[in-house]
Homo-oligomer: A and B are copies of this chain.
Amino acid sequence: MRSASCLSVLGMAVMLGFWVNGSDGESICGAYAPGDIIIGILSSVHTDIKDLHFDLVTFVQFLASIHTIEMINDSGFLPGLQLGYLMCDPCGHATKAIQCVEQMLSINGSLTVLSDYSNFCPTVKTFLGERYSETSIPVARLLSLHKIPQVACTSSAATLSNKLRYTSFFRVIPSSKYQAQALAKLIRHFNWDWIGVVSLDDDYGKDIYEQFVPHAEKERICTEFHEVIPNYNNVKQHIKEVADIIRNATGRVVVLFLRIHHVEMLFEEMIKTNTSRTWITSIPWSMSRFLMKMKGINKVGDIIGTTFITGKIPGFEDYLQNLRPRPGARNDLIMEYKQMRFNCSQQSQHTSPLACNVTDPQEANDDYLLEAVDVTEAYSQRVAVYAVAHAMKKLLQCNDTACSGDTNFMPYEVKCML
């Protein structure tokens, strides 16, 4: 019974070449590769639904995931089996993230609705992502219903640790609870006891601020001001106002619970007026090369932060320098990146100075991604993909030469192995 229903779903997917469309024939997915087992990837390579800003850091994280999948396939880690993937870009937007998941779980523009998902057998067996807690939380609600595991690499909101609210959610980084504690201890270590806090009005900003307050109190750190920046509306104006508050405050230490592009906008304001402070944060933007390269960045003062696990991914630098989709795979994001980098007529901040010498942008390559992004930050993607691959190896009872299990398994079976 179980195998029969699984096979019919897979059959449909093979017909579509694993590419999914809505009922209206439109697809919002950006990349896929066929395989015996399909992993879903949610990755906000674009940071906004409207202006479609291309985020190189997320792009490299996404590439780290598919590179790791390809390495696993090449190494015969799951003997006789190939992992495939289907990727969709929620553009950092929660509603779009739900739409991505619905589309990735649908067949011919239709999502099966059940009263019990224990025997639900979609093509996508596990999801990786999303980057932001704001988008991971609604996805976690939806995937908990469908009993499909989700492994996130950067969503740190403490609430996601609650296994009764988010039954299918896993992550390879610690909860913001520990980050908040570490930051409070760091601030106390330097004997700073008079700080300002700026946080984002989203599920990440609210969560980490909530975690931070009791630790700050415990360390006898006083908060001079706490300002909240909206995620979407009128952001520039709000940042200007917050910049004024920072300039007029007496505290010289400011804690930032923001996304990197808000930090960039805030620093632009600070640089304009030569305002120097000590900046503290919990997310890896403190390592961001974009910030380090901002004109006048030396004027903003010191930046201190924690970061997630980093490491070297074997072969990844080579992969980035010779970037192209594997035969049989489709990757609209790589195409878009190459147009942006090597198309002489589409000048952007990322366009290569040699772009006008390039005949086919899709065939061109250079080491720009290695320069622009700290690729060791993408290490947690490798950890996440391997966690999923190990779970599947156990589930499919693989030995050194073959996997005896049925690849048409139910997603909740992977969950039990994670």
Asked, given contacts A113-B111, A206-B210, A233-B164, whether A144 binds B95 with beta carbons under 8 Å apart, the answer is yes
Distance between A141 CB and nearest chain B CB, rounded to angstroms: 4
Tell me the chain A residues, 196-249 only, with Cβ under 8 Å from chain B: 201-202, 206, 210, 214, 226, 230-233
- Which one of B28, B141, B144, B233 lies within 8 Å of A115 (CB-CB)? B28
In addition to A23-B112, A27-B115, A165-B202, 7 A-B residue pairs with Cβ atoms within 8 Å of each other are A94-B141, A95-B144, A95-B145, A109-B112, A110-B110, A110-B111, A138-B141
How far does the alpha carbon of A312 sit from the alpha carbon of B72 in the complex, in Å?
67
Beta-carbon nearest neighbor of A147 in chain B:
B95
> Closest CB of chain B to A102's CB: distance in Å?
5
Contacting residue for A23 out of B23, B113, B144, B226, CB 8 A: B113
Give the most central of A111, A210, A226: most B CB within 10 Å: A111
Q: What number of A residues sit within 8 Å (CB to CB) of B?
A: 42
Instruction: Tell me the chain A residues, 162-219 only, with Cβ under 8 Å from chain B.
Output: 162, 164-165, 167, 201-202, 206, 210, 214
Is the beta-carbon distance between A145 and B99 smaller than 8 angstroms? yes
| CB atoms of A141 and B22 under 8 A apart | no
Instruction: Please report the C-alpha to C-alpha distance between residue A395 and residue B114 in the assembled complex, in whole angstroms.
Output: 34
Q: A159 — which chain B residues lie within 8 A by C-beta?
A: 206
Q: Which has the most chain B C-beta neighbours within 10 Å: A113, A115, A141? A: A113
Leading 5 A-B pairs by shortest Cβ distance: A26-B115, A106-B113, A111-B111, A164-B232, A22-B115
Q: Which residues does chain B contribute within 8 Å of A28, judged by CB atoms?
A: 115
- Please determine whether A94 and B165 come into contact, CB atoms closer than 8 angstroms: yes
Q: Does A400 contact B (CB under 8 A)?
A: no
CB of A334 within 8 A of chain B?
no
Copy number in this complex?
Answer: 2
CB distance from A322 to the nearest CB of B (A): 33
27 A-B pairs with CB atoms under 8 Å apart are A23-B114, A24-B114, A26-B115, A27-B115, A94-B165, A95-B141, A95-B167, A98-B141, A98-B142, A98-B145, A99-B115, A102-B111, A102-B145, A103-B113, A103-B115, A110-B110, A110-B112, A110-B113, A138-B142, A142-B142, A162-B201, A164-B230, A164-B231, A164-B232, A165-B232, A206-B206, A210-B210
Which residues of the other chain, B, contact A111 by a CB distance below 8 angstroms?
Answer: 102, 110-113
Give chain B residues whose Cβ lies under 8 Å from the Cβ of A232.
164-165
CA distance A116 to B109 in the complex (A): 12
- Residues of chain B with a CB closer than 8 A to A115's CB: 22, 24, 26-28, 99, 103
Closest Cβ of chain B: how far from A148's Cβ, in Å?
A: 12
Assess A113 versus B201: contact at CB under 8 Å? Given A145-B98, A206-B210. no
Q: Which of A27, A114, A144, A230 has the most CB of B within 10 A?
A: A114
| Nearest B residue (CB) for A117 | B99
